[in-house]
Structure 1
Amino acid sequence: MLNEKGQVRDVYDAVADPTRRKILQMLTDVEELPLYEITVHFQMGRTAVSKHLAILKEADLVVARKVGRETRYRLNAKPLKEIQDWVSYYEGFWKERMFKLNQLLEEQNMKPDVSLDFQFTSSVEKVWHALTDSDMLAKWIWNNDFKAEVGHKFQFRAEPSEWWDGIVDCEVLNIDEPNAITYTWASAGETTTVTWTLTKNADDTVQLKLDQSGFSEETKARQGAIEGATYAWTEMGNKLGTVLA
Protein backbone atom coordinates (compact mmCIF):
# COMPACT_ATOMS: atom_id res chain seq x y z
CA MET A 1 0.00 0.00 0.00
CA LEU A 2 1.20 3.55 -0.73
CA ASN A 3 1.77 6.09 2.02
CA GLU A 4 1.10 9.79 1.83
CA LYS A 5 4.27 10.30 -0.25
CA GLY A 6 3.22 7.69 -2.79
CA GLN A 7 5.79 5.17 -1.54
CA VAL A 8 5.32 1.56 -0.47
CA ARG A 9 5.80 1.30 3.29
CA ASP A 10 8.78 -0.95 4.13
CA VAL A 11 7.87 -3.85 6.42
CA TYR A 12 11.10 -3.33 8.38
CA ASP A 13 10.23 0.31 8.97
CA ALA A 14 6.76 -0.71 10.07
CA VAL A 15 7.98 -3.09 12.79
CA ALA A 16 10.86 -0.87 13.91
CA ASP A 17 8.68 0.96 16.45
CA PRO A 18 7.97 -0.87 19.77
CA THR A 19 4.37 0.42 19.84
CA ARG A 20 3.66 -1.13 16.46
CA ARG A 21 5.31 -4.39 17.49
CA LYS A 22 3.06 -4.48 20.56
CA ILE A 23 0.00 -3.91 18.38
CA LEU A 24 1.01 -6.84 16.18
CA GLN A 25 1.50 -9.00 19.25
CA MET A 26 -1.99 -8.10 20.49
CA LEU A 27 -3.52 -8.98 17.14
CA THR A 28 -1.71 -12.32 17.13
CA ASP A 29 -3.86 -13.63 19.98
CA VAL A 30 -7.29 -12.60 18.64
CA GLU A 31 -9.19 -12.68 15.36
CA GLU A 32 -9.61 -8.88 15.32
CA LEU A 33 -9.82 -5.87 17.63
CA PRO A 34 -11.60 -2.48 17.41
CA LEU A 35 -9.58 0.71 17.72
CA TYR A 36 -10.83 1.53 21.23
CA GLU A 37 -9.70 -1.87 22.60
CA ILE A 38 -6.24 -1.36 21.14
CA THR A 39 -5.97 2.21 22.46
CA VAL A 40 -6.58 1.27 26.13
CA HIS A 41 -3.26 -0.58 26.17
CA PHE A 42 -1.23 2.56 25.45
CA GLN A 43 -0.62 5.88 27.16
CA MET A 44 -1.60 7.84 24.05
CA GLY A 45 -4.80 8.95 22.38
CA ARG A 46 -6.83 7.31 19.63
CA THR A 47 -5.32 9.61 17.00
CA ALA A 48 -1.76 8.53 17.83
CA VAL A 49 -2.72 4.84 17.86
CA SER A 50 -4.54 5.33 14.54
CA LYS A 51 -1.35 6.71 12.99
CA HIS A 52 0.57 3.59 14.06
CA LEU A 53 -2.17 1.39 12.63
CA ALA A 54 -2.06 3.37 9.37
CA ILE A 55 1.67 2.62 9.05
CA LEU A 56 1.00 -1.08 9.67
CA LYS A 57 -1.72 -0.97 7.00
CA GLU A 58 0.67 0.63 4.52
CA ALA A 59 3.02 -2.31 5.07
CA ASP A 60 0.07 -4.70 4.62
CA LEU A 61 0.61 -6.04 8.16
CA VAL A 62 -2.94 -5.28 9.32
CA VAL A 63 -6.27 -5.31 7.55
CA ALA A 64 -9.07 -2.95 8.58
CA ARG A 65 -12.81 -3.32 8.09
CA LYS A 66 -15.75 -1.11 9.03
CA VAL A 67 -18.45 -2.49 11.31
CA GLY A 68 -21.00 0.32 11.55
CA ARG A 69 -19.13 3.37 12.84
CA GLU A 70 -16.38 1.18 14.28
CA THR A 71 -13.13 0.14 12.57
CA ARG A 72 -11.80 -3.30 13.44
CA TYR A 73 -8.29 -4.54 12.75
CA ARG A 74 -6.81 -7.99 12.19
CA LEU A 75 -3.29 -9.26 11.61
CA ASN A 76 -1.92 -10.16 8.19
CA ALA A 77 1.29 -12.03 9.04
CA LYS A 78 2.33 -12.89 5.48
CA PRO A 79 4.69 -9.89 4.98
CA LEU A 80 6.56 -10.91 8.16
CA LYS A 81 8.01 -13.86 6.24
CA GLU A 82 10.39 -11.41 4.58
CA ILE A 83 11.84 -10.58 8.00
CA GLN A 84 11.89 -14.24 8.99
CA ASP A 85 13.87 -15.11 5.85
CA TRP A 86 16.29 -12.25 6.50
CA VAL A 87 16.85 -13.27 10.14
CA SER A 88 17.21 -16.93 9.13
CA TYR A 89 20.00 -16.03 6.73
CA TYR A 90 22.03 -14.31 9.43
CA GLU A 91 21.19 -17.03 11.93
CA GLY A 92 22.86 -19.47 9.56
CA PHE A 93 25.79 -17.07 9.16
CA TRP A 94 26.40 -16.90 12.91
CA LYS A 95 25.90 -20.65 13.39
CA GLU A 96 28.64 -21.22 10.83
CA ARG A 97 30.92 -18.71 12.55
CA MET A 98 30.27 -20.25 15.99
CA PHE A 99 30.97 -23.72 14.61
CA LYS A 100 34.29 -22.52 13.22
CA LEU A 101 35.12 -20.75 16.47
CA ASN A 102 34.38 -23.89 18.50
CA GLN A 103 36.48 -25.87 16.07
CA LEU A 104 39.28 -23.35 16.49
CA LEU A 105 39.08 -23.51 20.30
CA GLU A 106 39.11 -27.29 20.25
CA GLU A 107 42.16 -27.30 18.02
CA GLN A 108 43.91 -24.77 20.27
CA ASN A 109 43.41 -27.10 23.22
CA MET A 110 45.12 -29.91 21.33
CA LYS A 111 48.81 -30.25 20.66
CA PRO A 112 49.51 -28.84 17.17
CA ASP A 113 50.46 -31.31 14.46
CA VAL A 114 53.16 -28.90 13.28
CA SER A 115 54.80 -26.37 15.62
CA LEU A 116 57.77 -24.21 14.66
CA ASP A 117 59.53 -21.18 16.13
CA PHE A 118 61.41 -18.53 14.16
CA GLN A 119 63.50 -15.65 15.49
CA PHE A 120 63.82 -12.32 13.65
CA THR A 121 65.63 -9.08 14.43
CA SER A 122 62.94 -7.05 12.64
CA SER A 123 60.28 -5.12 14.54
CA VAL A 124 56.93 -6.68 15.45
CA GLU A 125 55.24 -4.25 13.06
CA LYS A 126 57.45 -5.31 10.16
CA VAL A 127 56.88 -9.02 10.82
CA TRP A 128 53.14 -8.44 11.16
CA HIS A 129 53.16 -6.61 7.82
CA ALA A 130 54.87 -9.60 6.22
CA LEU A 131 52.15 -11.86 7.60
CA THR A 132 49.19 -9.73 6.53
CA ASP A 133 50.15 -7.91 3.32
CA SER A 134 49.28 -9.78 0.13
CA ASP A 135 52.36 -8.62 -1.78
CA MET A 136 54.66 -9.53 1.09
CA LEU A 137 53.04 -12.95 1.50
CA ALA A 138 53.66 -13.62 -2.18
CA LYS A 139 57.39 -13.16 -1.59
CA TRP A 140 57.73 -15.97 0.96
CA ILE A 141 54.65 -18.19 0.56
CA TRP A 142 52.75 -17.97 -2.76
CA ASN A 143 50.65 -15.61 -4.84
CA ASN A 144 47.39 -14.84 -3.07
CA ASP A 145 44.39 -12.55 -2.66
CA PHE A 146 44.67 -12.25 1.12
CA LYS A 147 42.96 -9.48 3.11
CA ALA A 148 43.33 -9.01 6.87
CA GLU A 149 39.59 -9.26 7.52
CA VAL A 150 37.87 -11.88 9.65
CA GLY A 151 35.65 -13.98 7.39
CA HIS A 152 37.60 -13.14 4.23
CA LYS A 153 38.05 -16.16 1.96
CA PHE A 154 41.20 -16.26 -0.14
CA GLN A 155 43.59 -18.56 -1.94
CA PHE A 156 47.30 -19.23 -2.05
CA ARG A 157 48.27 -20.30 -5.57
CA ALA A 158 51.47 -22.25 -6.11
CA GLU A 159 52.89 -23.81 -9.25
CA PRO A 160 50.72 -26.91 -9.94
CA SER A 161 52.24 -30.34 -10.36
CA GLU A 162 51.07 -33.70 -11.64
CA TRP A 163 49.83 -34.63 -8.14
CA TRP A 164 48.60 -31.24 -6.85
CA ASP A 165 46.64 -28.37 -8.40
CA GLY A 166 48.67 -25.81 -6.44
CA ILE A 167 45.63 -24.19 -4.78
CA VAL A 168 45.13 -23.70 -1.05
CA ASP A 169 41.69 -22.39 -0.01
CA CYS A 170 41.71 -20.32 3.18
CA GLU A 171 39.44 -18.24 5.38
CA VAL A 172 40.55 -15.76 8.04
CA LEU A 173 39.16 -16.91 11.41
CA ASN A 174 40.78 -14.58 13.90
CA ILE A 175 42.95 -11.44 13.97
CA ASP A 176 44.61 -9.98 17.06
CA GLU A 177 46.82 -7.27 15.59
CA PRO A 178 49.80 -7.39 15.92
CA ASN A 179 49.89 -10.51 18.08
CA ALA A 180 48.22 -13.37 16.22
CA ILE A 181 46.34 -14.38 13.11
CA THR A 182 44.55 -17.64 12.32
CA TYR A 183 43.16 -18.98 9.07
CA THR A 184 42.03 -22.27 7.61
CA TRP A 185 44.30 -24.09 5.20
CA ALA A 186 42.44 -26.44 2.85
CA SER A 187 44.20 -28.33 0.10
CA ALA A 188 44.15 -31.78 -1.47
CA GLY A 189 41.08 -32.77 0.54
CA GLU A 190 42.64 -31.84 3.91
CA THR A 191 41.49 -28.85 6.00
CA THR A 192 43.71 -27.64 8.82
CA THR A 193 44.11 -24.45 10.84
CA VAL A 194 47.23 -22.26 10.72
CA THR A 195 48.02 -19.83 13.54
CA TRP A 196 50.87 -17.33 13.57
CA THR A 197 51.76 -15.83 16.97
CA LEU A 198 54.21 -12.95 17.48
CA THR A 199 56.09 -12.25 20.72
CA LYS A 200 58.58 -9.46 21.35
CA ASN A 201 61.55 -10.71 23.34
CA ALA A 202 63.52 -8.81 25.99
CA ASP A 203 66.39 -8.27 23.53
CA ASP A 204 63.98 -6.66 21.03
CA THR A 205 64.03 -9.67 18.74
CA VAL A 206 60.73 -11.16 17.58
CA GLN A 207 59.69 -14.75 18.09
CA LEU A 208 57.25 -15.98 15.44
CA LYS A 209 55.47 -19.21 16.28
CA LEU A 210 53.64 -21.34 13.72
CA ASP A 211 51.03 -23.90 14.81
CA GLN A 212 49.18 -26.04 12.29
CA SER A 213 46.42 -28.28 13.64
CA GLY A 214 43.61 -30.47 12.37
CA PHE A 215 45.29 -33.05 10.15
CA SER A 216 43.14 -36.15 9.76
CA GLU A 217 44.23 -39.35 11.46
CA GLU A 218 44.71 -40.87 8.01
CA THR A 219 47.14 -38.11 7.05
CA LYS A 220 49.02 -38.31 10.34
CA ALA A 221 49.37 -42.06 9.88
CA ARG A 222 50.76 -41.64 6.37
CA GLN A 223 54.54 -41.87 6.51
CA GLY A 224 56.28 -38.58 5.91
CA ALA A 225 53.12 -36.43 5.73
CA ILE A 226 53.69 -34.35 8.89
CA GLU A 227 57.42 -34.28 8.27
CA GLY A 228 56.73 -32.93 4.77
CA ALA A 229 54.51 -30.18 6.14
CA THR A 230 57.15 -29.32 8.75
CA TYR A 231 59.84 -29.12 6.09
CA ALA A 232 57.70 -26.91 3.84
CA TRP A 233 56.90 -24.45 6.65
CA THR A 234 60.57 -24.41 7.71
CA GLU A 235 61.57 -23.43 4.20
CA MET A 236 58.91 -20.72 4.11
CA GLY A 237 59.99 -19.40 7.51
CA ASN A 238 63.58 -19.21 6.37
CA LYS A 239 62.49 -17.42 3.21
CA LEU A 240 60.55 -14.94 5.37
CA GLY A 241 63.76 -14.21 7.26
CA THR A 242 65.46 -13.38 3.97
CA VAL A 243 62.58 -11.13 2.93
CA LEU A 244 62.65 -9.29 6.26
CA ALA A 245 66.40 -8.82 6.06
Structure 2
Amino acid sequence: MKKKDEARDVYDAVADPTRRELINILAKVEELPLYELTDQFQMGRTAVSKHLAILKDAGIVISRKVGRETRYRLNAEPLQEIQDWVTYYTKFWNEKKLLLEKLLEEEDKMPTVSLDFQFTSSIERVWLALTDSKMLAKWVMENDFKPVVGHKFQFRTEPNKFWDGIVNSEVLVVDQPTKLSYTWETGGENTMVTWTLKEVEGTTHMHLEQTGFENEGNEYNGAKLGWVKMGKQLEKLLAKQ
Protein backbone atom coordinates (compact mmCIF):
# COMPACT_ATOMS: atom_id res chain seq x y z
CA MET A 1 0.00 0.00 0.00
CA LYS A 2 2.86 2.33 0.83
CA LYS A 3 4.40 1.84 -2.61
CA LYS A 4 1.16 2.85 -4.33
CA ASP A 5 0.92 6.00 -2.19
CA GLU A 6 4.50 6.98 -3.06
CA ALA A 7 3.82 6.45 -6.76
CA ARG A 8 0.72 8.56 -6.52
CA ASP A 9 2.64 11.32 -4.76
CA VAL A 10 5.24 11.43 -7.52
CA TYR A 11 2.64 11.71 -10.28
CA ASP A 12 0.69 14.33 -8.32
CA ALA A 13 3.87 16.27 -7.73
CA VAL A 14 4.81 16.56 -11.39
CA ALA A 15 1.23 17.16 -12.58
CA ASP A 16 1.46 20.91 -11.97
CA PRO A 17 3.35 23.03 -14.57
CA THR A 18 4.89 25.24 -11.88
CA ARG A 19 6.33 22.23 -10.10
CA ARG A 20 7.64 20.83 -13.37
CA GLU A 21 9.39 24.15 -13.99
CA LEU A 22 10.91 24.03 -10.49
CA ILE A 23 12.27 20.57 -11.34
CA ASN A 24 13.71 21.91 -14.60
CA ILE A 25 15.41 24.79 -12.82
CA LEU A 26 16.90 22.62 -10.08
CA ALA A 27 18.09 20.07 -12.63
CA LYS A 28 20.48 22.68 -14.03
CA VAL A 29 22.15 23.69 -10.75
CA GLU A 30 23.50 22.05 -7.64
CA GLU A 31 21.10 23.91 -5.34
CA LEU A 32 19.30 27.23 -5.00
CA PRO A 33 17.88 29.25 -2.11
CA LEU A 34 14.17 30.01 -1.95
CA TYR A 35 14.53 33.66 -2.90
CA GLU A 36 16.37 32.83 -6.14
CA LEU A 37 13.70 30.30 -7.07
CA THR A 38 10.95 32.79 -6.30
CA ASP A 39 12.55 35.39 -8.57
CA GLN A 40 11.89 33.10 -11.55
CA PHE A 41 8.10 33.00 -11.07
CA GLN A 42 5.32 35.55 -11.10
CA MET A 43 4.13 34.54 -7.64
CA GLY A 44 5.08 35.17 -4.03
CA ARG A 45 7.51 33.27 -1.83
CA THR A 46 4.67 31.56 0.04
CA ALA A 47 3.19 30.09 -3.16
CA VAL A 48 6.59 28.84 -4.33
CA SER A 49 7.19 27.33 -0.87
CA LYS A 50 3.93 25.38 -1.11
CA HIS A 51 4.97 23.89 -4.45
CA LEU A 52 8.39 22.99 -3.05
CA ALA A 53 6.73 21.35 -0.04
CA ILE A 54 4.74 19.06 -2.38
CA LEU A 55 7.91 18.16 -4.24
CA LYS A 56 9.64 17.45 -0.92
CA ASP A 57 6.77 15.19 0.20
CA ALA A 58 7.26 13.18 -2.98
CA GLY A 59 11.01 13.02 -2.33
CA ILE A 60 11.82 14.88 -5.56
CA VAL A 61 13.33 17.90 -3.78
CA ILE A 62 15.61 17.94 -0.74
CA SER A 63 16.23 21.03 1.40
CA ARG A 64 18.89 22.04 3.88
CA LYS A 65 19.43 25.00 6.18
CA VAL A 66 22.42 27.25 5.62
CA GLY A 67 22.25 29.79 8.43
CA ARG A 68 18.83 31.43 8.19
CA GLU A 69 18.52 30.43 4.53
CA THR A 70 16.85 27.29 3.13
CA ARG A 71 18.45 25.85 0.03
CA TYR A 72 16.85 23.30 -2.31
CA ARG A 73 18.28 20.67 -4.63
CA LEU A 74 16.84 18.03 -6.92
CA ASN A 75 16.64 14.34 -6.04
CA ALA A 76 15.77 12.67 -9.34
CA GLU A 77 15.55 9.12 -8.00
CA PRO A 78 11.74 9.13 -7.45
CA LEU A 79 11.28 10.26 -11.07
CA GLN A 80 12.50 6.81 -12.15
CA GLU A 81 8.96 5.61 -11.39
CA ILE A 82 7.65 7.88 -14.14
CA GLN A 83 10.50 6.98 -16.48
CA ASP A 84 9.68 3.28 -16.10
CA TRP A 85 6.01 3.96 -16.78
CA VAL A 86 6.76 6.06 -19.87
CA THR A 87 9.26 3.47 -21.15
CA TYR A 88 6.67 0.71 -20.86
CA TYR A 89 4.08 2.60 -22.89
CA THR A 90 6.68 3.86 -25.35
CA LYS A 91 7.44 0.22 -26.11
CA PHE A 92 3.71 -0.49 -26.36
CA TRP A 93 3.10 2.30 -28.86
CA ASN A 94 6.24 1.47 -30.85
CA GLU A 95 4.92 -2.06 -31.29
CA LYS A 96 1.55 -0.68 -32.40
CA LYS A 97 3.30 1.71 -34.77
CA LEU A 98 5.30 -1.13 -36.33
CA LEU A 99 2.10 -3.15 -36.75
CA LEU A 100 0.39 -0.18 -38.41
CA GLU A 101 3.35 0.37 -40.74
CA LYS A 102 3.25 -3.30 -41.68
CA LEU A 103 -0.46 -3.12 -42.43
CA LEU A 104 0.05 0.02 -44.54
CA GLU A 105 2.88 -1.64 -46.45
CA GLU A 106 0.65 -4.62 -47.16
CA GLU A 107 -2.13 -2.27 -48.24
CA ASP A 108 0.24 -0.43 -50.60
CA LYS A 109 1.06 -3.74 -52.25
CA MET A 110 -2.61 -4.47 -52.88
CA PRO A 111 -3.71 -3.67 -56.43
CA THR A 112 -5.83 -0.55 -56.95
CA VAL A 113 -8.07 0.35 -59.85
CA SER A 114 -7.16 3.96 -60.60
CA LEU A 115 -8.81 5.76 -63.52
CA ASP A 116 -9.23 9.38 -64.63
CA PHE A 117 -12.05 10.87 -66.69
CA GLN A 118 -12.66 14.35 -68.05
CA PHE A 119 -15.98 15.96 -68.94
CA THR A 120 -17.04 19.31 -70.31
CA SER A 121 -20.09 19.23 -68.04
CA SER A 122 -20.06 21.24 -64.82
CA ILE A 123 -18.89 19.64 -61.60
CA GLU A 124 -22.44 19.93 -60.23
CA ARG A 125 -23.77 17.96 -63.20
CA VAL A 126 -21.17 15.22 -62.83
CA TRP A 127 -21.86 15.07 -59.09
CA LEU A 128 -25.54 14.59 -59.85
CA ALA A 129 -24.68 11.70 -62.16
CA LEU A 130 -22.76 10.10 -59.28
CA THR A 131 -25.45 10.60 -56.65
CA ASP A 132 -28.85 10.59 -58.36
CA SER A 133 -30.26 7.07 -58.34
CA LYS A 134 -32.02 7.42 -61.70
CA MET A 135 -28.92 8.82 -63.42
CA LEU A 136 -26.72 6.14 -61.84
CA ALA A 137 -29.00 3.49 -63.30
CA LYS A 138 -28.28 4.82 -66.79
CA TRP A 139 -24.52 4.33 -66.65
CA VAL A 140 -23.78 1.95 -63.75
CA MET A 141 -26.66 -0.31 -62.64
CA GLU A 142 -30.13 -0.23 -61.14
CA ASN A 143 -29.84 0.85 -57.54
CA ASP A 144 -31.43 2.28 -54.42
CA PHE A 145 -28.56 4.69 -53.72
CA LYS A 146 -28.95 7.79 -51.51
CA PRO A 147 -26.13 10.26 -50.85
CA VAL A 148 -26.34 9.80 -47.07
CA VAL A 149 -23.45 8.53 -44.97
CA GLY A 150 -24.34 5.15 -43.51
CA HIS A 151 -27.00 4.40 -46.11
CA LYS A 152 -26.86 0.76 -47.23
CA PHE A 153 -27.87 0.04 -50.78
CA GLN A 154 -27.45 -2.31 -53.72
CA PHE A 155 -26.45 -2.10 -57.34
CA ARG A 156 -28.35 -4.76 -59.31
CA THR A 157 -28.12 -6.16 -62.83
CA GLU A 158 -29.03 -9.35 -64.66
CA PRO A 159 -27.23 -12.37 -63.09
CA ASN A 160 -25.24 -14.89 -65.06
CA LYS A 161 -23.63 -18.25 -64.33
CA PHE A 162 -20.54 -16.53 -62.92
CA TRP A 163 -22.18 -13.76 -60.86
CA ASP A 164 -25.46 -13.11 -59.05
CA GLY A 165 -25.57 -9.53 -60.39
CA ILE A 166 -25.70 -7.89 -56.93
CA VAL A 167 -23.31 -5.41 -55.35
CA ASN A 168 -23.85 -4.66 -51.66
CA SER A 169 -22.70 -1.20 -50.62
CA GLU A 170 -22.69 1.35 -47.84
CA VAL A 171 -22.07 5.08 -48.20
CA LEU A 172 -18.90 6.14 -46.35
CA VAL A 173 -18.19 9.73 -47.45
CA VAL A 174 -20.36 12.44 -48.99
CA ASP A 175 -18.53 15.72 -49.53
CA GLN A 176 -20.55 17.54 -52.18
CA PRO A 177 -19.45 18.13 -54.90
CA THR A 178 -15.88 16.88 -54.56
CA LYS A 179 -15.79 13.44 -52.93
CA LEU A 180 -17.98 10.37 -52.71
CA SER A 181 -17.01 6.99 -51.27
CA TYR A 182 -18.82 3.71 -50.66
CA THR A 183 -18.09 0.04 -50.12
CA TRP A 184 -18.40 -2.41 -52.99
CA GLU A 185 -18.97 -6.02 -51.94
CA THR A 186 -19.45 -8.59 -54.67
CA GLY A 187 -17.90 -11.72 -56.15
CA GLY A 188 -16.08 -12.52 -52.91
CA GLU A 189 -14.27 -9.17 -52.85
CA ASN A 190 -14.86 -6.45 -50.27
CA THR A 191 -13.52 -3.23 -51.78
CA MET A 192 -14.05 0.52 -51.55
CA VAL A 193 -14.90 2.91 -54.39
CA THR A 194 -13.91 6.57 -54.10
CA TRP A 195 -14.78 9.31 -56.58
CA THR A 196 -12.92 12.62 -56.46
CA LEU A 197 -14.04 15.61 -58.53
CA LYS A 198 -12.48 18.96 -59.34
CA GLU A 199 -13.28 21.60 -61.93
CA VAL A 200 -10.49 23.39 -63.77
CA GLU A 201 -11.12 25.99 -66.48
CA GLY A 202 -14.48 24.59 -67.48
CA THR A 203 -13.42 20.93 -67.41
CA THR A 204 -14.52 18.53 -64.69
CA HIS A 205 -11.85 16.01 -63.75
CA MET A 206 -13.17 12.82 -62.16
CA HIS A 207 -10.79 10.38 -60.48
CA LEU A 208 -11.78 6.86 -59.48
CA GLU A 209 -10.00 4.62 -57.02
CA GLN A 210 -11.21 1.18 -56.08
CA THR A 211 -9.09 -0.30 -53.30
CA GLY A 212 -9.07 -3.52 -51.31
CA PHE A 213 -8.46 -6.16 -53.97
CA GLU A 214 -6.48 -9.14 -52.71
CA ASN A 215 -4.70 -9.63 -56.01
CA GLU A 216 -4.83 -8.79 -59.70
CA GLY A 217 -7.22 -11.63 -60.42
CA ASN A 218 -10.49 -11.83 -62.31
CA GLU A 219 -12.31 -9.50 -59.92
CA TYR A 220 -9.67 -6.79 -60.28
CA ASN A 221 -9.47 -7.03 -64.06
CA GLY A 222 -13.24 -7.22 -64.38
CA ALA A 223 -13.66 -4.11 -62.24
CA LYS A 224 -11.10 -2.15 -64.26
CA LEU A 225 -12.68 -3.04 -67.60
CA GLY A 226 -16.14 -2.46 -66.18
CA TRP A 227 -15.37 1.07 -64.97
CA VAL A 228 -13.76 1.99 -68.29
CA LYS A 229 -16.94 0.88 -70.06
CA MET A 230 -19.18 2.70 -67.57
CA GLY A 231 -17.05 5.84 -67.86
CA LYS A 232 -17.78 5.91 -71.58
CA GLN A 233 -21.49 5.46 -70.87
CA LEU A 234 -21.34 8.38 -68.45
CA GLU A 235 -19.62 10.53 -71.08
CA LYS A 236 -22.45 9.81 -73.51
CA LEU A 237 -25.07 10.46 -70.85
CA LEU A 238 -23.58 13.86 -69.93
CA ALA A 239 -23.26 14.80 -73.63
CA LYS A 240 -27.04 14.42 -74.00
CA GLN A 241 -27.80 16.86 -71.19
The bucket for the TM-score relative to the shorter chain is 0.5 to 0.7
Question: Structure 1: how far apart are the matches of 2:232 and 2:207?
Answer: 13
Which residue pairs with 2:157 in the alignment? 158
Q: What amino acid does structure 1 have at the position aligned with 2:224?
A: T
Q: Distance in 1 between matches of 2:220 and 2:143?
A: 24
User: Counterpart of 2:192 in structure 1: which amino acid?
Assistant: T
Matched, 1:231 2:234: no
Amino acid at match of 2:207: K
Question: Cα offset for 1:196?
Answer: 0.4
Segments of structure 1 that go 5 or more residues without pairing to the other structure are 1-101
Map 1:63-212 to 2 at 5 A. Answer: 110=108, 113-201=112-200, 203-212=201-210
Deviation readout 1:90-120 (Å, 9 max, x if unpaired)? xxxxxxxxxxxx9xxx69x847610000000
Distance 1:161 1:235 in 2: 19
The separation in 2 between residues aligned to 1:226 and 1:149, in whole angstroms, is: 27
Instruction: List runs of 5+ in structure 2 lacking aligned partners.
Output: 1-99
Distance 1:138 1:188 in 2: 20
- Which is greater in Rg? 2
The alignment partner of 1:130 has SS state of helix
Q: Please, what is the CA RMSD of the aligned residues?
A: 2.2
Greater helix share, structure number: 2
Query: Residues of 2 paired with 1:225 and 1:187: CA distance?
Result: 9
How many angstroms does 1:231 deviate by?
1.0
* Aligned partner of residue 236 in structure 2, secondary structure: helix
Distance in 2, Cα, partners of 1:157 & 1:227: 20
1:145/1:225 Cα in 2 relative to 1: closer, same or farther (>3 Å)? closer
| Partner SS for 1:216 | coil
What letter is aligned with 1:242? K
Contact 1:171-1:184 at 8 Å conserved across structures? yes
Report how many aligned residue pairs link the two structures: 136
4+ aligned runs moved over 3 Å, structure 1:
109-112
Once the 2 structures are TM-superposed, how far is the Cα of residue 229 of structure 1 from its aligned partner?
1.6
Contact 2:192 2:210 in 1 (8 A): yes
Give 1:165 deviation, angstroms.
0.5
DSSP-derived class of the 2:129 partner: helix
Counterpart for residue 69 of structure 1 = none
Asked if 1 retains the 8 angstrom alpha-carbon contact of 2:187 and 2:219, the reply is no
CA drift of 1:227 comes to: 2.7
1:161 is paired with a residue whose SS is: coil
- 3-state secondary structure, aligned to 1:238: helix
The TM-score normalised by the length of structure 2 is 0.53
Contact 1:132 1:147 in 2 (8 A): yes
- SS of the aligned residue for 1:150 comes to coil
Give 1:214's match in structure 2, choosing from 208, 212, 215: 212
